[in-house]
């Protein structure tokens, strides 16, 4: 650990991972789950998503204390190309990673794979799973229907989830990753702002009375709003419909996670797909730029660059988060 001013602490990557594993064990995770979750949240921190990084361990600990897992994962349906998996109350970073491994195996064997997961929660960054799919030479999609935290346009309370969608595409270099929520801000971002006492931007949330608010605590008792108004809401509804296919109707929170993988070889040789997509992205990057713009960025460019840098210099977290993780680890 290196001091980083009064309120911030810098940790080397391996130091952060070791602390994360110990803290997750202190929260009640077994060894395997602690390692899977630590890898996921450390990667989020390395990629520059602080609110999805180590602070999220505190959210995991709080949730597990309220709702411990019910038992081992269970297969509800199993075919050569598809699986429906009951998460039995385990954390989504663990269950969706298991689903990702399953979908890769089925797509590699049969050209296409589809795995749904329900009875799980807080799956983390969709890009993390989609990178694994794309690095296996497959095209991936992850659709999530989550518990209600977002108010539809014109509504005074939450009725739909933040409902993210993510894609992964193999290229000749790092995969093309697209990962976005359909809400104006994600719950983990909101929770981190509440811990820090930071105000929200205008137009992002409402309080419990349905009135606009910039108070993160009031927003947690109220609802976030869809991004892009009715367009974001429509996309969230599509994720909801795919979540139903993943068994969200059997989930106490109405959550469902659907992971899909497609083998490019169904349509063309994988090498041709990698080359042609890479060429298409190169054309986009070479587009004439407006004054003052240094580069045309593709989604995931920044996170890859941030990961490389932070692997060398470490990550920075709030000191009160660091001290909370030490207490949990002890």
pLDDT digit string, tens, across residues 246-258:
999 989 889 999 9
Judge if 175 and 234 occupy the same domain: yes
Judge if 102 and 150 occupy the same domain: yes
* CATH number of domain containing 151: 3.30.1370.60
The mean-pLDDT minimum among 225-234, 266-275, 306-315 falls in 225-234
- Give the pLDDT band (50/70/90) at residue 2: low
Judge if 146 and 115 occupy the same domain: yes
Assess if residue 221 is contained within a domain. Answer: no
Judge if 112 and 52 occupy the same domain: no
* CATH number of domain containing 11: 1.10.1530.10
Assess if residue 300 is contained within a domain. Answer: no
Assess if residue 280 is contained within a domain. Answer: no
Assess if residue 285 is contained within a domain. Answer: no
Q: What is the percent of the chain where pLDDT is above 90?
A: 88
Domain boundary residue among 211, 245, 266? 266
Q: Chain-wide mean pLDDT for the chain?
A: 95
Assess if residue 298 is contained within a domain. Answer: no
Assess if residue 323 is contained within a domain. Answer: yes
Judge if 110 and 138 occupy the same domain: yes
| Pairing outcome for strands 8-11 and 315-318 | antiparallel
Judge if 170 and 52 occupy the same domain: no
Judge if 175 and 320 occupy the same domain: no
Judge if 156 and 173 occupy the same domain: yes
- 136-168 pLDDT, tens digit per residue, is 999 999 999 999 999 999 999 999 999 999 999
Can you say whether the dihedral through the CA atoms of 163, 146, 66, 218 is positive or negative?
positive
Judge if 7 and 141 occupy the same domain: no
How many separate domains does the chain show? 2
Judge if 132 and 239 occupy the same domain: yes
Assess if residue 195 is contained within a domain. Answer: no
Assess if residue 47 is contained within a domain. Answer: yes
Judge if 88 and 116 occupy the same domain: yes
- 166-209 pLDDT, tens digit per residue, is 999 999 999 999 999 999 987 777 877 887 788 998 999 999 99
Judge if 48 and 142 occupy the same domain: no
Domain of residue 30 covers 2-67+305-329
- Give the pLDDT band (50/70/90) at residue 1: low
pTM metric for this prediction:
0.92
Instruction: Check residues 190 and 229 and name the one with the higher pLDDT.
Output: 229
């Amino acid at each position: 650990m290196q001091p980083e001013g009064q309120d911030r602490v810098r940790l080397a990557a391996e130091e952060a991972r070791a602390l994360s594993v110990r803290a997750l064990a202190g929260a009640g995770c077994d060894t395997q789950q602690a390692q899977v979750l630590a890898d996921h949240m450390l990667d989020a921190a390395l990629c520059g998503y602080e609110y999805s990084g180590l602070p999220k361990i505190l959210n995991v600990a709080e949730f597990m204390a309220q709702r411990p897992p019910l038992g081992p994962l269970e297969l509800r349906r199993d075919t050569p190309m598809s699986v429906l998996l009951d998460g039995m109350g385990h954390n989504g970073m663990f269950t969706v990673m298991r689903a990702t491994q399953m979908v890769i195996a089925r797509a590699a064997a049969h050209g296409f794979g589809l795995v749904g997961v329900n009875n799980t929660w807080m799956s983390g960054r969709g890009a993390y799973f989609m990178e694994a799919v794309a690095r296996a030479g497959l095209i991936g999609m992850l659709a999530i229907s989550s518990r209600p935290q977002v108010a539809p346009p014109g509504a005074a309370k939450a009725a739909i989830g933040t409902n993210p969608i993510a894609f992964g595409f193999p290229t000749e270099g790092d995969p093309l990753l697209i990962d976005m929520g359909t809400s104006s801000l994600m719950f983990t971002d909101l929770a981190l702002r509440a811990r820090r006492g930071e105000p929200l931007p205008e137009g992002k949330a409402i309080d419990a009375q349905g009135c606009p608010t910039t108070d993160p605590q009031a927003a947690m008792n109220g609802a976030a709003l869809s991004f892009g108004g009715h367009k974001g809401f429509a996309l969230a509804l599509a994720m909801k419909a795919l979540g139903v296919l993943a068994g969200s109707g059997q989930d106490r929170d109405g959550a469902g996670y659907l992971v899909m993988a497609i083998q490019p070889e169904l349509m063309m040789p994988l090498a041709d797909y990698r080359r042609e997509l890479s060429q298409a992205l190169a054309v986009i990057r070479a587009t004439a730029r407006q004054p003052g713009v240094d580069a045309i960025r593709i989604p995931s460019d920044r996170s890859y660059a941030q990961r490389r840098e932070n692997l060398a210099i470490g990550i920075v977290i709030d000191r009160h988060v660091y001290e909370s993780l030490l207490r949990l680890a002890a």
